[in-house]
């Protein structure tokens, strides 16, 4: 039986408010078709954003996943990735509750060369000054 080789394997752990339980999602990219699917999904999400529609938690997570994968391909330094991640989305681009649900995103990445990376982004979408209208 042939062993399937993964191009990249990413476990994403999301921590929201302190009183919530973190959850983990696993993303495995086995071939270029998997990247094509992600690319089409990102295009769909960006189309929503361009129409001033707000995106949900899952769509927001895909934006960050795609960003991390692209930055890794460009061989960016981890600290650059973390710093620039906070510029991807603002509270007015996401649905209510998304910034609070993504207080911390940890990417545990297994690269094709068996190198392991851990990238943690704290408060990627600012919650300061984020107040619900009365």
What phi and psi values does residue 65 have, to the nearest 5 degrees? -60, -50
Whether this model's pTM surpasses 0.75: yes
Contacts of 88 (CB under 8 A, 6+ apart): 63, 64, 67, 124
Per-residue pLDDT of the chain (134 residues; tens, 9 = 90+): 344 455 899 999 999 998 999 999 999 998 889 999 999 999 999 999 999 999 999 999 999 999 999 999 899 999 999 999 999 999 999 999 999 999 999 999 998 888 899 999 999 998 765 555 55
pLDDT, residue 3, reads 46
């Amino acid at each position: 039986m042939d062993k399937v080789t993964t191009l990249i394997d990413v476990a994403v752990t999301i921590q929201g408010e302190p009183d919530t339980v973190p959850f983990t999602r696993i993303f495995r990219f086995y071939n270029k078709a998997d990247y094509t699917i992600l690319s089409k999904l990102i295009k769909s999400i960006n189309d929503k954003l361009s129409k001033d529609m707000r995106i949900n938690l899952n769509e927001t997570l895909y934006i960050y996943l795609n960003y991390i994968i692209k930055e890794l391909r460009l061989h960016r330094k981890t600290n650059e990735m973390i710093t620039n991640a906070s510029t991807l989305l603002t509270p007015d681009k996401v649905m209510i509750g998304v910034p609070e649900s993504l207080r911390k995103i940890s990417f545990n990445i297994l690269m094709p060369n068996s190198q392991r990376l851990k990238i943690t982004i704290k408060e990627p979408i600012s919650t300061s000054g984020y107040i619900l209208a009365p």
